[in-house]
Chains A and B, each alone.
Chain A
Amino acid sequence: MLKIQNLTKRYGDKVAVEGLSLEIGKGEIYAFIGHNGAGKTTAIKACCGILPFEEGEILIDGHSIQEEPLVCKKSLAYIPDNPDLYEFMSGVAYLNFIADIFGVSASLREEKIKALSEKFGLTADLAQPISAYSHGMKQKLAIIAAFLHEPKLIIMDEPFVGLDPKASHTMKEMMREFTQKGGAIFFSTHVLEVAERLCDRVAIIKKGKLLVSGTMEEVKGNTSLEEVFLELAEN
């Protein structure tokens, strides 16, 4: 579903990501781990077509994000690390806007908005302006918007930040359901316990370079993911 081949991204002289290669298959939840400033967000933004890159290739469902950005973007959803949404809109207006952009039919969006906002306990606040939302509420709205247009791939940057325990639990359930239906999820996180329990595969990145990747068992072996990460980060 997502294939990153030898991705290199530079900001001037600084190399943010160097020669990164990963492959995420259908039905997989893939965790992307690294310390602050390791290049996770850069790589994620490049996968979503937000950041152009100098070298390498990113394929989404077989299509190049550089050559066919619209085809790729139609099948993916992105949730950023900070849910900066249109503060001048109400929650429901934002969801309608996203549904319009992705061509979601009226009936499907009604059904989806109702179901998803109820799951996250956001229904009562949908008429409120987003400017009145807390960080967690914005995060929930960004998640609902991501699932609204039924993407094949969801790319998320720290999706659990700001979520209350119930919403966090709901999110994990939704991620599992989504991948069971054939979708793929690629997300970055600092919550290693969540990654360990939720993900099928994991990649650890340091200073823009991939240190290790593979199935959770391959990467952590008999130890915990936290121990592996700390050991790799220190060395």
Chain B
Amino acid sequence: MLKTLIKARLSAFWAGLGFDKKTGKKRSVGKLVLFGFLYVYLIAVFLGLFLGAFFLLGTLTLQTEMAWLYFAAAGLLAVLLAVVGTVFGTVTQLYEAKDNDLLLSMPIPPKYILLSRLLTLLLGNVAFEAVVLLPAFVMYFVVGLPFGAISPWGILSLLAGMLVLPFVSLTFSCLFGWLVAQLLRRVRRKSLVQTVFSLALLGLYFYFYGKMMTGADSLENISLILHPLANAVKTYFYPFYLFGLGCAGNVGAGLLSLLFAAIPAFLVFWILAKSFINIATAKTALKKTAYREKTMKRSSPRRALVKNNLSHLFHSSGYLLNSAIGLFMLLVGAVALLVGKDAFLSSFLSMDGMEGAEEITAFLTADALAALLTAMVCFLASMVMITAPSISIEAKTIWILRSSPLTGRDVLLSKVYASELLSVPVLLIVSVAVIVVAAPVWYVALGVLLLPQLFALFGALFGMIVGVAFPRFNWNNETEAVKQGMAVFLAMFGMMGISVAAIGIGFILSILLGAGAALLLLSLLFLGLSLLLLWIMLSVSARKFEKIQV
């Protein structure tokens, strides 16, 4: 029975990857290859990021008495990433699963239902942790071998860590998931809670990642930076300190860290097993919002559509976080740029002692710095994909638009407007921050203001066109529509590729003609391309939208 349950959960996962849920047919080889390539690319990016980080951290710690910090950092980052990555999955699969009622009505022991869910969640944790632990394992050999810092115990401990740490993250996922589920049951604005919680977890993760890797770029200040970090791990993450010590050769500490992992895990899983029926069937009645008649206002259909699109975005944490994360990052970047203006400028413009510092400082004029920052802004803006999944998420409700007196043009334009309504002010703030920090001449400043706006407009139109061309309606959870599907992949990687190409072209142009000319010429290019895409959207895509069959 347990086997059947696990098989059902895994087949649901594989069906999403290899089969079209609507037709039940296998996806074409071409599609599978493309999806495979994109997944491999994504994983490779993360692996590369961690390989680099652990190479530097290993160089700094493995041959010193602080070797434990390498392992502790690996363990802590792995657990944090897995918790961040799986906590909402835990909420939807464990506490708010839609098939809880159905399964509980069948002659299946509740503990089997719980176990099948925990096992599939555990697999998710293993996958997330592998992204951190595999690079840590590889770099342990790469860095450790030349220094003779490898020990069989270290290898064994890391392997044991790979087996044990997913249980630790699963324990935390279950705990945080329970808290989130309790909170979500009691609040009306569920998406707001989910968004804030996700951003907080993401922020926390990057805070720790940044803290741990800060020492890695400054070989001269190892003791200054690593010792406070080591103290912080000892004080606030004692079990991970023990885990690090264990991997570094302290058997007692290693065994103690196992206890630290096992006791909470046992307690959490025991409580879950005892109270699963209550958890799965719990419902908290929310106090009804009283309806009060108000004077109603009439809006134009186009305005109503834009409002509807924005409302959908802000009421869906999955949509907001996955499609507008670039805007959050841009806002954070703008604030950081303004607040840390002096530190930022000194780190960029004074590189005494560094190899090639003179050349870099000579190149980094105010104008070039503005252009460089604008390139970064455009890259982040390429992560704004509000329009690409906007057709897929209509799915079951598309009949409302299709049976209303609206043209395809009205619908598509409203979605681009909604995207622009959000990105225009954010990009304006970021551009102003760039101008304040870099203080370029007026025509460069004009480019700083124009290019991100036109790039974002191009991105919104591009997303809209691929969104209509490759809609995905066979989803069970809205997040699937936002995260997966050809339209989202094409928009994400297409825009990333285009931004990299544009940065390359801009770099060459700035060497040949100067930063101002490069920014303005690129602005002109994206204006032209946007007009072309607008024409395609209003003609080809609008007609296609009017013929979409769900």
Contact = CB atoms under 8 A, between A and B. Distances in A.
A35 B396 CA distance: 23
Contact of A125 (B291, B296, B407): B291
Interface in A72-129: 73-74, 76, 78, 80, 82, 84-86, 88-90, 92-93, 96-106, 109-110, 113-114, 123-129
A106 B397 contact: no
- Pick the most buried of B288, B290, B308, B407: most chain A CB atoms within 10 A of its CB: B308
B476 interface: no
Given A96-B296, A106-B295, A124-B288, A73 B400 contact: no
A110 B404 contact: no
A85 B400 contact: yes
Nearest to B549: A51
B291 A126 contact: yes
B58 to A, nearest CB: 48
B397 A84 contact: yes
B405 A102 contact: yes
Contact of A85 (B292, B295, B397): B397
Interface residues of B, number: 38
A162 interface: no
A50 interface: yes
B547 A52 contact: yes
Interface in B515-550: 546-547, 549
Give the contact-size bracket for chain A: 35 or more
Given A97-B304, A101-B406, A128 B289 contact: yes
Contact of B405 (A50, A73, A93): A73
- Pick the most buried of A49, A88, A104, A113: most chain B CB atoms within 10 A of its CB: A88
B297 A74 contact: no
B407 A70 contact: yes
B290 A84 contact: no
B188 interface: yes
B288 A97 contact: no
A29 interface: no
A100 B301 contact: yes
Contacts of B315: 88
A93 B307 CA distance: 11
A30 B407 CA distance: 29
A15 interface: no
A82 B295 contact: no
B396 A97 contact: no
A209 B426 CA distance: 57
A88 B301 CA distance: 19
In order of increasing CB-CB distance, the 5 nearest A-B pairs are: A88-B315, A100-B304, A84-B396, A127-B291, A73-B405
Interface of A: 45, 48-52, 69-71, 73-74, 76, 78, 80, 82, 84-86, 88-90, 92-93, 96-106, 109-110, 113-114, 123-129, 132
